[in-house]
Amino acid sequence: MRLFRVLTNTLNDHSVHEYIVMAEDENQAAYIAQGNAKANNPSDGYNTPAQAQQNTRVLAVQSTNVQDCIEVHKFPLAMARQLIGQQF
């Protein structure tokens, strides 16, 4: 199993969704990400989860070339201090 970064877009949605998926290959990663359409907010919008999954297209699948960890974001420490409100 490897980690893949998968980008998807659902019809009439103006955003791109980024998923980090553990899968055997690119095809399985795309299938898993497409199946997750609307998983986080099933009642949001007018599509049912099944419709959203059917209307979701995979834009890109990229192997992370690592097995168990991926860096998701990198941002300035000062920004983290503002967001979290802690001194470190």
pTM of the shown model: 0.73
Across the chain, mean pLDDT equals 83
Domain parsing of the chain, residue ranges = 2-68
Buried b (16+ CB within 10 A) or exposed e, 56-65: bebeebeeee
pLDDT in the model for residue 5: 92
Q: Which amino acid is at 16?
A: V
Q: Is residue 7 scored above 90 in pLDDT?
A: yes
Q: Is residue 58 scored above 90 in pLDDT?
A: yes
Interstrand relation of 2-10 and 56-63 (parallel, antiparallel or unpaired): antiparallel
Reported in sequence order, the residue ranges of 1-88 that DSSP labels E, i.e. its strands, are 2-10, 17-23, 56-63
CB atoms within 10 A of CB 33: 23
Residue 38 has φ and ψ, to the nearest 5°, of 75, 10
